[in-house]
A and B are shown apart, each in its own frame.
Chain A
């Protein structure tokens, strides 16, 4: 018998979903507290969208249980149809009904309420989201940002147990995306909505969620706060997902890893003499004209506005180091001194 708890809005226990021989979701367990905002992140095809669809009930799991607000909605002997789950869903393409106005779209999910109550709830939600002026328009008359807000309003109107969002900001222009995302998330925080949001964008995952769940090939790689995943990744995969590291090969010996660039002190639970790799963030390397630990030569530089990226050739190293700097160097500078901030260096055993 499954123990029922009130603390969690959603509990996923060992859920699997196979498509032919491949497991899109291979035995995932995850508990989501009330009011928590979770970011499911991973490359395309990692199973994050499938997991979302399993929770919504528009896809059927092959094994495991799903509990929503303490009630089993999916398990070996039970499957609650999506219309009976009271789950909010914001689709990537928003899925607004083209033949209904904004108001009718929102009213669509309020069948359980009587007419007067439904209309009151609709105007409450659209007031909250700030789309009162759009109420009589049809979806094709709205901009991308407006459609996104209507989709959000429609999903929130029936007071769902949980709000699921599948790449909700990916259809917006870059300039609009950050603002819409900030507004949406702060609103959801104020309302205390429990949210699972799927994204493939590492930056979005780090900034948006209370908790980040990194997935790979149908399995969870690591769960934790954005700081945990970015600063303390448990695997090379997690490390490289969030940051474009410089990798330098070395050998572990007596508490340090010896590389062509010198020794880095790292405590690791691996045998003496094992091959290891040092991971250095591009922004952890600093270059200057005359102050640093060793010499380097700039091979290429590209300007990105907020920072400048350099490829710096260093003695004894096969590939040049990638360096990101917010400090400007005069254009004629060629030979530089390089130093590395030791506390921003990670190490993993080589495969």
Chain B
């Protein structure tokens, strides 16, 4: 049932795409697609390389060397996760503006007096976009790679050292090849985020497929055309997912090869340690501290200057209400999917589980269009039935009420909730279920008295992650929100599109602060592991 709810939008997307006239496709294929295909591929390649390099280097830095501040760095390196791509783009547009703080300071240092005499290359470019996305998306690579370094390479690295390989050579010869599956998994996640992004690439002038979908739909109101591009995008995602699955198969293989044992980091001298600390702090400075500091100061000025507007409070209420409802639905559905998998393990449950969790890989724009198609049809049906039977028109019941947005959020984030709950349930031995049944509890009673209390932590964590992702999600919100409803993310997008960034700094800061919640959670989990 849940799987069907997820599958419907994909089917709708397909049907809609077929409806487009052949000429339209021709037009798309000759005008828009070549540019955006090339742009998308360059962007993916660039972000992939940047995030892989930063993520792997940082993971090696904090596992292989011991220096003051390493423990803090271990979790602080996750902080850029809190910054959505559109916020970093928006922040750096201002920070690096020719008359912004950074360039002014550089000019002052070098003794130039006007922007005309000296300016940095414009951030509003493909390289700028690649770098900025890389600096916020590298934690996706950093996280699994660090775990891989920590748990798996230890014995083999010791073996390599006794065979006479120097510490430096080990990274290239042993550690990196072993961690390759983890790097691949991380990169594919980072690339899915890249494909989802609509704000950053648009602000920075990169015309990706995602941006094309958005403009084709909004500015040209061409739904079939947008669906066609969306299908193309979905194809790229499927390729990415297959790549990730393939990488993971090897990860499982290597995980069974040896037992876990602590990795002994090398103590380094203080000057070198300081250098390593600086190196480790760089991505945090660029990916998190810079934008956070900038947003805090401009938000502070804004509040001092204009106070907290009632608009802002409205947005806060909208954002949180939508996210809370979506989180509740997502967790409920996730529980159903994960529990069905436990109660009746078998091909049907496991397939529906896999299917239901597919949505995470699909970019928000694709999900939005699919959901819109399905619900528009449902709206028409309900409206027609209501007119036929009662003579009243219900209008756009689903789309107008925000149900569409909740649907899209649920579809997109179901994987997070189902995965988290599933992992929590997996830690409960099956004999507890049977014991409970034999002591007189029904399956529902067992869920209530045994599973829910025992997986409380997993449920909370999953709920928090879904909540934060709902708050951060821009494209789906932008496309599906009911009329006149603004959330933090859409307000920010609107202001940025108009070039009036400062107005939205408070909203951006709020998103950033909420985004830090799971990072704090992750850092605490990481600490209790040892």
- Provide the bound-state CA to CA distance between A56 and B433, in Å: 13
How big is chain B's contact interface, by range? 10 to 19
Interface contact B440-A112, CB-CB below 8 Å: yes
Whether B436 sits at the interface, judged by CB under 8 Å, is yes
Whether A98 sits at the interface, judged by CB under 8 Å, is yes
- Provide the bound-state CA to CA distance between A154 and B432, in Å: 13
Interface contact B431-A99, CB-CB below 8 Å: no
A57 partner residues in chain B, CB cutoff 8 A: 437-438
Q: How many residues of A contact B (CB 8 A)?
A: 27
Interface contact A81-B439, CB-CB below 8 Å: no
A317 to chain B, nearest CB (A): 46
Given A97-B450, A108-B449, verify A158-B439 contact (CB < 8 Å): yes
Interface contact B434-A58, CB-CB below 8 Å: yes
Give A42-69 interface residues, CB cut-off 8 Å to B.
53, 56-58
Given A93-B429, A97-B450, verify A158-B434 contact (CB < 8 Å): no
Given A93-B431, A95-B429, verify A88-B438 contact (CB < 8 Å): yes
- Provide the bound-state CA to CA distance between A84 and B438, in Å: 8
Give B441-494 interface residues, CB cut-off 8 Å to A.
441-442, 445, 449-450, 453-454
Interface contact A83-B454, CB-CB below 8 Å: no
Residue in chain A with minimal CB distance to B446: A83
Give A66-122 interface residues, CB cut-off 8 Å to B.
81-89, 91-93, 95, 97-99, 108-109, 111-112
- Provide the bound-state CA to CA distance between A81 and B441, in Å: 10
- Provide the bound-state CA to CA distance between A154 and B429, in Å: 18
Interface contact A85-B432, CB-CB below 8 Å: no
B225 to chain A, nearest CB (A): 50
Residue in chain B with minimal CB distance to A82: B437
Given A97-B450, A98-B454, A99-B453, verify A109-B439 contact (CB < 8 Å): yes
Interface contact B440-A158, CB-CB below 8 Å: yes
Interface contact B431-A91, CB-CB below 8 Å: yes
A58 partner residues in chain B, CB cutoff 8 A: 434, 437-438
A98 partner residues in chain B, CB cutoff 8 A: 454
B432 partner residues in chain A, CB cutoff 8 A: 95, 97
From the candidates A56, A92, A111, name the one contacting B438 in the complex (CB within 8 A). A56
- Provide the bound-state CA to CA distance between A60 and B429, in Å: 20
Whether B435 sits at the interface, judged by CB under 8 Å, is yes
Interface contact B435-A83, CB-CB below 8 Å: no
Interface contact B434-A91, CB-CB below 8 Å: yes
Residue in chain B with minimal CB distance to A88: B438
- Provide the bound-state CA to CA distance between A86 and B439, in Å: 7
Give A222-258 interface residues, CB cut-off 8 Å to B.
none
From the candidates B435, B441, B449, name the one contacting A89 in the complex (CB within 8 A). B435
Given A58-B438, A82-B437, A97-B432, 8 more pairs with CB closer than 8 A: A81-B437, A83-B437, A85-B438, A95-B435, A108-B441, A108-B449, A109-B438, A109-B440
Give the A-binding residues of B (Cβ under 8 A). Answer: 429, 431-432, 434-442, 445, 449-450, 453-454
Q: Which 3 A-B pairs have the closest CB atoms?
A: A109-B439, A95-B431, A95-B435
